[in-house]
A = this chain, B = another copy of it.
Amino acid sequence: MVTQLDAIDRKILAELQADASQSLDEIAKKVGASKTPVWNRIRKLRDSGLIKSQTVILDPDKLGLEACFFVLVRTSEHEKDWQDRFLTALLEREEVLEAHRLAGDIDYILKVRVKNAKAYDDFYQALISEVKIFNMTALLSMEEIKSTLRLPV
């Protein structure tokens, strides 16, 4: 936490998270301040890195990416070299939307978006041919109940 946020900063962040295409005037009106202070605050939030970027959210189904898997990965290898190769493989593959290194029994979890089960298998085969993996369990999402990157501010 770089700096303390006040109530107005939080309102601004909430508005931007809800819809970043709003004009400065609209945001200013909603948070109950005028343009200049709001503009200065947004700039500060950007510069501090708290606002990392601005993007559009696409509908994966409409892009034909209808299958979502969560993949639990266990490895027997814990050397630096193996880890580097594994990480590189994950970063390079655009079907991998998230990858986390975990504490405990399971070493990694991935979120993977692909066209269908066949495409997942292609991904799986490609990955295990690149790096040795002890065990990989895929959990198939049947329904996305909730998906947000809206953080409580």
Contact = CB atoms under 8 A, between A and B. Distances in A.
Contacts of A109: 70, 139, 141
Contacts of A96: 146
A114 B63 CA distance: 31
Contact of A51 (B1, B58, B153): B58
A76 interface: no
B94 A58 contact: no
A146 B91 contact: yes
A57 to B, nearest CB: 5
Interface residues of A, number: 62
Interface string A117-142: 00000000000000000000001111
A7 interface: no
A33 interface: no
Given A17-B55, A98-B146, A149-B149, 5 more contacts: A51-B59, A54-B56, A70-B102, A94-B152, A97-B148
Interface of A: 1-2, 13, 16-21, 48-65, 68, 70, 87, 90-91, 94-104, 106, 108-109, 113, 139-153
26 contacts: A1-B62, A13-B56, A13-B58, A16-B55, A16-B56, A19-B53, A20-B56, A48-B62, A50-B63, A51-B56, A51-B58, A51-B59, A52-B56, A53-B57, A54-B57, A58-B149, A58-B153, A63-B152, A70-B70, A70-B109, A94-B150, A96-B146, A98-B144, A100-B144, A101-B141, A101-B143
